[in-house]
Structure formats: structure tokens, C-alpha cells
Amino acid sequence: MRELKQIETAPAKFVRWLVPLCAFGALLPWVSGAMALVAGIAVTLLWGNPYAERAKSLSRQLLQLSVIGLGANMNLGIVGQVGVAGIGYTIAGLSVTLLVGALMGRLLAFTNACGPVTCARNWCLTLNA
């Protein structure tokens, strides 16, 4: 049986040109990050992403490079000062969380150390969200 050749419709061709055009537009100095994000969401919701498979394969590497780029711009002296200043808050927050977890565990009659561990896990997830 013969394979049918997929014919690209006019809207699909339009979107294949619109996505790179918007990506280039996002690099312009007067286009803010929020404007680029809203434009990308609008194009994807209205017409879809014709490069979904390619974007899926590149997104992990691009995210890693973005994090490296953000870190490369940080002043290590300021990071150290903030870290030293915030260590007390971190210790206090963890201590209170574990204490509340232990009290809740007793109040709810848990038989093991499930209360403090659950509270600490939820606290960490909240910080990472």
C-alpha cells in the first residue's frame, strides 16, 4: 500500500515561520521577558508547537545551560555573606518544623517518627516550589 504524503496546510506553514520569528523577536532589547513569555504561550495555545519533538529533546540541555549562565553572573562574596546571614533562619526553621512534626505525631498517635519526617519533607518541598 502506498504511503500518503502529508501535505502541509497554510496555517501549519504560517506557524513554522511564526515560531522562529517570535524567538528572534524575544532577543530584541525592547522586548521584555514577560512579553516574550506571553507571546510564546499565545502562539502555542492558538496554533500549537510545530517543533514539539525538537523542543522536548533540547529543553533539558537549555535549562542546564541557563542555570549555569545564571550562576556565572553571581558575586561569590555576596553569596557567602547571604549564606552566613541566613544560616540562623535555616536552623531555626528546621528546628521548629521538626518540633511541630513531633508534637503533631504525638497528637495524632503515630507509632514511629513519621510526624517530624513528614513535616520536614513538606517544609523542604515548600522551599523548593
Largest CA distance in the chain: 72
Q: How far apart are CA 126 and CA 2, in angstroms?
A: 55
The conformation of residue 6, written as its DSSP 8-state character, comes to P
pLDDT interval class at 102 (50, 70, 90): confident
Instruction: Read off the pLDDT of residues 40-98 as tens digits, 9 standing for 90 and up.
Output: 888 888 888 888 888 888 888 888 888 887 777 778 888 788 888 788 888 888 888 77
Dihedral sign for Cα atoms in the order 118, 124, 127, 129: negative
pTM confidence score: 0.44
CA angle 91, 86, 123 (to 5 degrees): 50
Start-to-end CA distance of the chain, whole Å, equals: 52
Domain boundaries, the chain: 10-72, 76-128
